[in-house]
């Protein structure tokens, strides 16, 4: 899977990912002599380090350089949003760096290639799949379907009407097809198309195209892909029982 961002510091490197979920300060966050983290387990040495953004003292730039001198430098740096401290450290240490990347999609242990000259990263062990997820609203409640326990993805979870975008289809065409196949509800054009977002399950990242259909009534007849259905008000949803991304969709209403 390729994720395109912005080139910050030139060069190319590959390595195992190590991540940190919050803003990170090299000063205090890592031992400049050994590369070992002070704020989590593991080491930065030879790894592709991914974190949202830098923070703290400008001395952090020289911690990166010290890591380079000591032979414990990261293979590459990847941010959601680069700032001066980390950028300076990457440039003076000749460490490839890219930003404008959704680092939340990367997991520790992923094999990551970073091209700091062209501004992209590649997750070599991750595949990318386009899917749709359709919100069908009737009288303030929306339709949820329960996935079987042996489902290939998100087994036993509640979802909207979802499915893979087939070759040659637009996401809107997929949405109409999946709604008919799974519920026998006939729909036309969606009332709303929501922003695309991404979620990850295992080694798959799903690009989720979401649509909203507001209907006066709907007679649901399930096929074998789901085990049951229910109509739910947004306030009644238990996110822990749902596939990833339901909360994002509901916030758009």
The verdict on 111 and 141 lying in the same domain is: no
Whether 57 sits among the annotated catalytic residues: the reply is: yes
The verdict on 136 and 90 lying in the same domain is: no
Structure tokens at 13: 């490197």
Residue in 9, 25, 57, 159 annotated catalytic: 57
Alpha carbon of residue 201 to chain centroid: 9
What is the chain's pLDDT, residue by residue, as a tens digit (253 residues)?
Answer: 999 999 999 999 999 999 999 999 999 999 999 999 999 999 999 999 999 999 999 999 999 999 999 999 999 999 999 999 999 999 999 999 999 999 999 999 999 999 999 999 999 999 999 999 999 999 999 999 999 999 999 999 999 999 999 999 999 999 999 999 999 999 999 999 999 999 999 999 999 999 999 999 999 999 999 999 999 999 999 999 999 999 999 998 8
Strand partners, 124: none
The verdict on 134 and 223 lying in the same domain is: yes
* Residue 183: closest CA among 225, 211, 151: 225
> Could you tell me the pTM of the whole model?
0.92
Evaluate the CA torsion angle 246, 247, 249, 253 in order and state its sign: positive
Asked which of 88, 123, 158 is the last residue of a domain, the reply is 123
First-residue to last-residue Cα distance in the chain:
30
**Domain residue limits at 241:** 127-251
Asked which of 80, 101, 123 is the last residue of a domain, the reply is 123
Q: Mapping DSSP to helix (H, G, I), strand (E, B) and coil, where does residue 178 land?
A: helix
* Residue 207: closest CA among 146, 132, 114, 112: 132
């Amino acid at each position: 899977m390729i994720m395109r961002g912005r080139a910050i510091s030139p060069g190319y490197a590959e390595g195992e990912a190590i991540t940190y979920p919050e803003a990170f300060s090299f000063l205090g966050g890592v031992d400049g002599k050994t590369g070992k983290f002070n704020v989590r387990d593991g080491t930065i040495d030879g790894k592709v380090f991914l974190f949202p953004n830098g923070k703290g003292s400008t001395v952090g730039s020289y911690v990166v350089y010290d890591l380079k001198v000591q032979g414990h430098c990261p293979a590459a740096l990847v941010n959601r949003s680069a700032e001066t401290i980390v950028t300076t450290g990457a440039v003076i240490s000749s460490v490839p760096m890219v930003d404008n990347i959704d680092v939340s999609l990367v997991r520790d242990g992923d094999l990551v290639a970073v091209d700091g000259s062209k501004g992209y990263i590649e997750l070599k062990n991750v595949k990318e799949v386009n899917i749709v997820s359709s919100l069908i609203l009737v009288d303030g409640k929306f339709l949820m379907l329960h996935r079987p326990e042996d489902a290939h993805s998100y087994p036993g979870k509640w979802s909207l009407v979802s499915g893979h975008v087939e070759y040659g289809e637009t996401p809107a065409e997929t949405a109409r097809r999946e709604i008919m196949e799974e519920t026998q509800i006939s729909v036309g054009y969606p009332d709303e198309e929501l922003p695309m977002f991404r979620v990850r399950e295992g080694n798959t990242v799903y690009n989720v195209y979401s649509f909203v259909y507001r209907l006066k009534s709907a007679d649901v007849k399930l096929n074998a892909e789901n085990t049951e259905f229910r109509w739910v008000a947004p306030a009644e949803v238990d996110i822990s029982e749902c596939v990833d991304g339901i909360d994002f969709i509901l916030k758009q209403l």
